[in-house]
């Protein structure tokens, strides 16, 4: 009985994934976390998405806490993330199994998201979509099976789709 109870507890805990996005207002942390949440929902996952930010002041810290599981989520609060996506130095300094960050913000996986946005699209704001593409790859979501054009904002749709694909195709390390 003890062994089966432990396996049941483990099986319930092993799949639940927790992703935290941090940055500052204006980097569209809310947009990219919402797109990921909707994509996961489309694939049949239970998803919670919580935000922490001061909406009255631009360029202040914002965090999005996304939890997903195949089963209903009992506690969406995140103490330790599976993946932390850091887009700005003002972002949370949370404990995470893996951190993906813009250049100079961590020692785990540094990706020049802002530079890629500028080089490929002329604007650093596309860094967020490059980061989202990288995240899709890391969590094992095949973006060819998603209707991203339905989930993304209508403005800059073509560029956002290209930026996500670019991030998805990044060959930094072995996945």
pLDDT tens profile 39-95? 999 999 999 999 998 876 777 888 999 999 999 988 878 888 899 999 888 766 678
Q: Residue 4 — pLDDT band, cuts 50, 70, 90?
A: very low
Give the predicted TM-score (pTM) of the model: 0.84
More confident site: 103 or 33: 33
Q: Residue 17: what pLDDT? A: 93
Q: What is the pLDDT of residue 93?
A: 67
pLDDT at 165 over 90: yes
Of 143 and 6, more confident: 143
Give the residue-averaged pLDDT of 102-123: 90
By DSSP bridging, strand 17-24 and strand 61-69 are antiparallel
Query: What is the structure's pLDDT at 21?
Result: 93
pLDDT digits (tens, 9 = 90+) for 115-152: 999 999 999 889 999 999 999 999 999 999 899 999 99
Residue 1, pLDDT above cutoff 70: no
Angle, helices 157-169 vs 113-121, to 10°: value is 130
Chain Cα centroid distance, residue 20? 7
- pLDDT for 173 equals 54
More confident residue, 58 or 101: 101
Determine the Cα–Cα distance for residues 18 and 64; give it in Å rounded to an integer.
11
Nearest to 141 by CA among 51, 68, 56, 53: 68
Confidence of residue 161 (pLDDT cuts 50, 70, 90): very high
| Cβ neighbours for 17, distance < 8 A, ≥ 6 positions apart | 67, 68, 69, 82, 83, 139
pLDDT at 154: 94
Q: Please choose, from the candidates 43, 46, 49, 48, the residue with its C-alpha nearest in 3D space to the C-alpha of residue 29.
A: 49
């Amino acid at each position: 009985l003890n062994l089966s109870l432990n396996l049941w507890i483990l099986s319930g805990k092993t799949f639940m994934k927790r992703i935290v996005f941090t940055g500052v207002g204006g980097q569209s942390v809310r947009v990219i976390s919402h797109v990921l949440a909707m994509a996961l929902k489309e694939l049949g996952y239970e998803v919670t998405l919580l935000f922490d930010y001061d909406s009255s002041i631009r360029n202040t810290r914002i965090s999005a806490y996304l939890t997903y599981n195949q089963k209903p989520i009992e506690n969406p609060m995140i103490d330790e993330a599976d993946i932390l996506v850091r887009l700005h130095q003002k972002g949370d300094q949370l404990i995470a199994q893996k951190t993906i960050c813009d250049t100079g913000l961590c020692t785990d996986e540094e990706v020049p998201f802002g530079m890629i946005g500028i080089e490929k699209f002329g604007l650093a704001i596309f860094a967020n979509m490059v980061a989202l593409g990288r995240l899709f790859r890391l969590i094992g979501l095949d973006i060819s099976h998603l209707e991203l054009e339905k989930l993304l904002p209508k403005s800059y749709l073509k560029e956002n789709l290209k930026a996500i694909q670019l991030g998805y195709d990044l060959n930094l390390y072995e996945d």
